[in-house]
């Protein structure tokens, strides 16, 4: 694989400040396109699951329920859980937003988003997924999902964004991580007990949607 120009952030050198215009352009495009989507939820999870996976079907169902209650759905625009959520939102007649990241491998835009944006920089895409969401729905996933999770948790913890509910969907998947957070971070006073309240483990799609409705008063 040709890795020339692959490492986008590392490739910014002195004298290449023109890249800042690309960065600004991605911000402007994102704000212009998403400013009027209304209340939305961001749904995250693995790109490496197929349509036969139970979490694919659950993500599809959750997205459909949110649309039925007047929410738009945001995803990273790729396959797996992202595809499922975009599919559920689109087929329920709602706004299905796919914020695709341009990668040299793995990421391929799914066909179910009716609002599509492409991003070269991860950090800009993350800003959009946070800025326009009233809740975070975290399905099982890998490093990318964990990155999005802890980015949001840190911003809520440090009051850099308004508090928003963050649901970890799938108790059997997430309970080990939450147990480690309690036994290490909380026990050793790296976080407070109140910080734990940022995360909520949930399994039932209907209850998740009802909880978000109560929290954001929609």
Model pTM score:
0.89
pLDDT number for residue 8:
59
CATH numbers and ranges of domains, the chain: 19-213 (3.40.50.450)
CA separation for the pair 132, 149 (Å, rounded) = 15
Q: What angle do CA 120, 161, 72 make, to 5 degrees?
A: 65
Low-confidence ranges of the chain (pLDDT < 70): 1-16, 105-107, 217-218
The 10s digit of each residue's pLDDT in 54-84 is: 999 999 999 999 999 999 999 999 999 999 9
> Which residues are within 8 A (CB) of 45 and not within 5 positions of it... i.e. 6 or more apart?
55, 59, 80, 81, 82, 84, 85, 138, 139, 140, 141, 145
pLDDT number for residue 104:
72
CA separation for the pair 166, 168 (Å, rounded) = 7
Q: Please state, for a pLDDT cut of 90, what percent of the chain lies above it.
A: 83
């Amino acid at each position: 694989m040709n890795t020339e120009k692959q490492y986008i952030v590392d490739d910014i050198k002195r004298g290449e400040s023109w890249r800042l215009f690309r960065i600004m352009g991605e911000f402007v495009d994102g704000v212009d396109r998403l400013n009027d989507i209304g209340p939305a939820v961001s749904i995250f999870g693995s790109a490496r699951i197929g349509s036969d996976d139970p979490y694919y079907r659950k993500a599809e169902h959750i997205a459909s329920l949110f649309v039925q209650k007047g929410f738009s759905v945001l995803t990273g625009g790729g396959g797996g859980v992202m595809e499922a959520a975009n599919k559920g939102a689109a087929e329920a007649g709602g706004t299905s937003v796919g914020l695709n990241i341009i990668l040299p491998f793995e990421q391929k835009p799914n066909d179910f988003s009716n609002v599509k944006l492409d991003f070269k920089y991860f950090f800009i895409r993350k800003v959009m997924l946070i800025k326009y969401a009233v809740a975070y729905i975290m399905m099982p996933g890998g490093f990318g999902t964990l990155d999005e999770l802890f980015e949001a948790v840190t911003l809520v913890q440090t009051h850099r964004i308004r508090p928003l509910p963050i649901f970890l969907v799938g108790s059997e998947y997430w309970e080990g991580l939450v147990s480690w957070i309690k036994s290490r971070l909380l026990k050793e006073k790296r976080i407070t007990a109140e910080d734990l309240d940022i995360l909520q483990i949930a399994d039932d799609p209907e209850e998740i949607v009802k909880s978000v409705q109560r929290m954001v008063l929609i």
